[in-house]
Amino acid sequence: MDLELTGRWALVCAASKGLGAGCAEALVREGCNVVITARGAKALEATAAALRLLNPAVAVRAVVGDIATPEAQALALAACPQVDILINNAGGPPPGDFRDWDRSAWLAALDANMLAPIALIKATVDAMAARGFGRIVNITSGAVKAPIDVLGLSNGARSGLTGFVAGLARQPALAGRNVTLNNLLPGAFDTERLHKTLAAGAAKQGLSSDEFAAKRRAGIPAQRFGTAAEFGAICAMLCSAQAGYLTGQNILLDGGAYPGVF
Ligand code: NAP
């Protein structure tokens, strides 16, 4: 199916690696021009070069900066002639015990995982509505649906974003103008971040990383971790012309790990 994305511009935040890079790759395959961001210049440039090779017909621009800051947000927006598609993403907050988190720890999590996406939505959504096309996808976490105790900073900040998006997506001024806002909730995906959390979990249980990873995989009905490519493919589908009637949803991609009916 042609997703009818050729020539669109997408701003994909936090996209030098992992899920963000998977989304950028899928959009580039579909003919989107992309602006990708990350803090580290080296990996970002390497990803941009790979994307240009993948589809020489599209423009690929790379913007270095911490997307949680207004400065990096402004640079990313300035690099994108018009934002038809916005993929909000940033690194996840660290795990821990809420007794150890002070106000600055909470503010950092809120900045990265709630306030930055809201600022970028605010900067782009009305122009999308004026043009009659807009797709916003926020990469959140399966922990929004089934909170993980040690990820309290993530549970809290991402739930704030989720509640905000649920209200905004249902405004007729947006939904009635073909602007959709949805959240993609990853379960366990094979990325650098997952490997770091697996190493930490393994150390806690006195297992090797491989043993711990095997245990985690066995607990997922699909019996494996997801790939960034399959995450990106679903993201591109949500951004397609055909997905205009799909808005305000939280879509869990977890290989069946969440045990509930709804
Ligand atoms: P990853 O493999 O560690 O990749 C993170 C990407 O984001 C890198 O390109 C990184 O580059 C960039 N980045 C991080 N913080 C940034 C910031 N403040 N500003 C700009 N770029 C930033 O992580 P991932 O697995 O793709 O995870 C993406 C998101 O999904 C995270 O919020 C994570 O918590 C969430 N998530 C992931 C999983 C999973 O299983 N993978 C599960 C649930 C939720 P730089 O470091 O160079 O900036």
Taking CB atoms within 8 Å and a gap of at least 24, the contacts of 155-158 are 156/106, 156/109, 157/93, 157/106, 157/109, 157/110, 157/112, 157/113, 157/114, 158/113, 158/114
Lowest-pLDDT range, 101-115, 142-156, 192-206, 228-242?
192-206
Q: Residue 35's pLDDT is what?
A: 99
Per-residue buried b or exposed e for 94-120, using 16+ beta carbons within 10 Å of the residue's own CB: eeeeeeebeeebbebbbbbbbbbbbbb
Mean pLDDT value of segment 65-80: 98
Q: Residue 112's pLDDT is what?
A: 98
Is it the case that residue 204 has pLDDT exceeding 90?
A: no
Pocket of ligand 1 contains residue 144 by CB under 6 Å: no
Grade residue 166 by pLDDT with cuts at 50, 70 and 90: very high
Is it the case that residue 200 has pLDDT exceeding 90?
A: no
Q: Residue 21's pLDDT is what?
A: 98
Q: Residue 213's pLDDT is what?
A: 95
Query: How remote is the CA of residue 14 from the centroid of ligand 1, in Å?
Result: 6
Mean pLDDT value of segment 53-80: 98
- Point out the ligand 1 atom lying closest to the alpha carbon of residue 225: 40
Sheet holding 179-186, edge to edge: 60-64, 33-38, 9-12, 85-88, 134-139, 179-186, 250-253
Query: How remote is the CA of residue 184 from the centroid of ligand 1, in Å?
Result: 14
Q: Residue 197's pLDDT is what?
A: 87
Pocket of ligand 1 contains residue 116 by CB under 6 Å: no
Residue nearest to ligand 1 atom 8, measured at CA: 17
Report phi then psi at 85, rounded to 5.
-135, 130
Which of 50, 1, 43, 13 minimizes the C-alpha distance to 28?
50
Lowest-pLDDT range, 53-62, 140-149, 197-206?
197-206
Pocket of ligand 1 contains residue 183 by CB under 6 Å: no
Query: How remote is the CA of residue 131 from the centroid of ligand 1, in Å?
Result: 30
- DSSP code for 168: H
Residue nearest to ligand 1 atom 33, measured at CA: 92
Lowest-pLDDT range, 14-23, 68-77, 163-172, 200-209?
200-209
pLDDT digits (tens, 9 = 90+) for 241-251: 999 999 999 99
Quote the tokens at residue 183.
Answer: 């959240």
Query: How remote is the CA of residue 51 from the centroid of ligand 1, in Å?
Result: 18
State how far the alpha carbon of 84 is from the alpha carbons of 18, 57, 216, in Å: 22, 18, 37
Query: How remote is the CA of residue 65 from the centroid of ligand 1, in Å?
Result: 14
Q: Residue 201's pLDDT is what?
A: 87
- Point out the ligand 1 atom lying closest to the alpha carbon of residue 196: 3
